Structures are given as structure tokens and as C-alpha cells.
Amino acid sequence: MTEPRIGVVGIPGKWSTEALADAVEAKTGFRLVIDMGRVTLDLASGALLHDGIDLCQLDGLIIKKISEIYSPHVLDRLEMLRFAEARGVKIFSRPESVLRLIDRLACTVSLAAAEVPMPATRITEDRDAALQAAREFGAAVFKPLYSTKARGMTLIDGDDPTAPDRIAAFAAEHPVMYIQQKMDLSGQDLGIVFLGGAYVCTYARVKQGDTWNTTIHSGGKYAPFEPDDALIELARRAQAPFGLDFTTVDVALTQIGPIVFEVSAFGGFRGVKEGCGLDAAAMLVEHVLARVSA
């Protein structure tokens, strides 16, 4: 029986993309890293082409990363992949599932509908309302709707005399302002990992120095963490509406109990490796092969 041909959608040269492509190659002998910036959808011929290869002829695609930077443009890339799915290619995770997570607001609305606890959150285009939220929250994190690893996030103290100017500067770049109350994270937050909806492990992101967030992009470090059953169940409930094949739920332990920040569209391989001592790429490939061959 011929081994399935499975492509990896990601960023060529990036560790997680290459690790996943290595894992696919080790199991199937086939290796293809797909840069969506080099993909052409030809509706007349019904082909989705990458360097002369029609992706619609593959057995499967794994989306590890859709773009280096999140933006509305990423949604167009997912629509192109949705065409391949319509042609019978099995995609992990499905483009429709990923679409609901690229926009931070879409993820938040789904979490709120599922009654998942989150920080106090307001969304507005009104700068006066944004200032009022910052004052009521005491300190507020202004978040771009499209970003990862805390990029573009701005911490604003509502009582700071410069707050109106800082809000205006943020709004000039991000007219729809996503505003969350800053929570005391006690120096860490958690990544709770699921594969096909089943719990895998939990790692902590521990902040370093005086930065206000814990992201690795800001110098945070991964560490092991053992959650209790209630925490795992909270994260399971948070990721369930999205139907992802591999994901990480970002959870923080606060004075008011555990809260969920977001559900990752792609999950974190390095956190699983360094915090849990597991090979996420190999586990995901096993999961994919079982479903492609079914």
C-alpha cells in the first residue's frame, strides 16, 4: 500500500514547521512544506498549486502556521485551503475551525457563548468608552484583534494622564478596540494541550524580569505543571466548540479562580517539548495518519 502524501502548511525554516515536516517524512517518506505566499488557486482548472504541485491531489494537509503575522489577509489563505478540502483533501485542523480563532473577537464570542470564565472584556470603537473601561478596570490590556504572542498589546492605566493619548494612538492602528482587565497572574500562565479533543499535558509559561506578560516572545520560560481535574475540564470545555485536531488553551490562575484567555488555532510544539518533555509533532502525525488512512 502506498504511503499517504501529506503536506505541511507553515513557515519554511521555522522550528515547529520543520519539526512537523520531519515527523511526516519519518513516517511516510514524503516531505512538502507549503508557504501559502507561494500558493495559487486556479478555479478554472480546479487546482491549488504550490511550486508545480497540486495540493488537491494530496491525501492530507496539516496546518501548522498560516502566516508569520496574523491579519485579515490570513482569512483569505484559509479560504484557499477550504477549496482543497472541498475537493476531498483531509485537513488538520479544518480551515473552518481555524477561521473562528484567527480573529480574537470571534474566539472570545464563542468562549462567552459556552460560558467559559474570562477576564472582564469590552470591545468598542468609541474612545471615550475605551477610557471609561480602562478607568473601571484600573489597568487594561488593549489587544489587536489579529496578533500572537502578545504582539501589539498595550497596557494602559486608566488613571494615567496620558491614557487618552495612548488610547487614541492605539485606536488609530486598531479602530475596533479589544480591552481586557489586567489580571494578577502571579508570574505565570498555563498552556493546556489537547490532541483530537483528548487531554495531553499542561505546561506553564513563567515570566522573566519585570515584563507584564508571560509570553516566550517577551522572555518567558516554559516549565512543567500538573493541573487538577477541574482545571483540565475547564480547558476541555473551552476548546470543545472549535473542533481542532491540536490546540493549546491559555489559562491563568487568579484570585477569582481560573480564567481562559484564548484557544490557540495551532497549539505550541515548543511548550509541549520543553514543559512536558513530549514530541507534539510525532503525536500529531500519528493522529493524522490514523484519520487519513481510515
| Per-block mean pLDDT, blocks of 10 residues, the chain (294 long) | 91 97 98 98 97 97 92 92 98 95 93 95 98 96 86 92 97 96 86 98 83 55 95 98 97 92 93 96 98 88
At residue 187, the pLDDT reads: 82
**Orientation angle between helical segments 15-28 and 280-292, nearest 10 degrees:** 50
209: number of Cβ within 10 Å: 7
At residue 150, the pLDDT reads: 73
Domain boundaries of the chain, sorted by first residue? 6-101, 121-181, 184-278
Three-state secondary structure string covering 125-179: CCHHHHHHHHHHHCEEEEECCCCCCCCCCEEEECCCCCHHHHHHHHHHHCCCEEE
- Which uninterrupted H or E stretch holds 121? strand 121-124
Superfamily for 184-278? ATP-grasp fold, B domain (3.30.470.20)
Read off the C-alpha cell for 143. Answer: 489587544
At residue 70, the pLDDT reads: 80
At residue 211, the pLDDT reads: 56
In the CATH hierarchy, which fold is given to the domain comprising 6-101? Rossmann fold (3.40.50)
Peptide bond into 93 cis (omega under 30): yes
Is the CB of residue 224 less than 8 Å from the CB of residue 203? Answer: yes
- What distance in Å separates the CA atoms of residue 272 and residue 83, rounded to the nearest whole number? 31
Give me the architecture of the 121-181 domain, per CATH: 2-Layer Sandwich (3.30)
Residue with grid cell 494537509, as numbered in its chain: 61
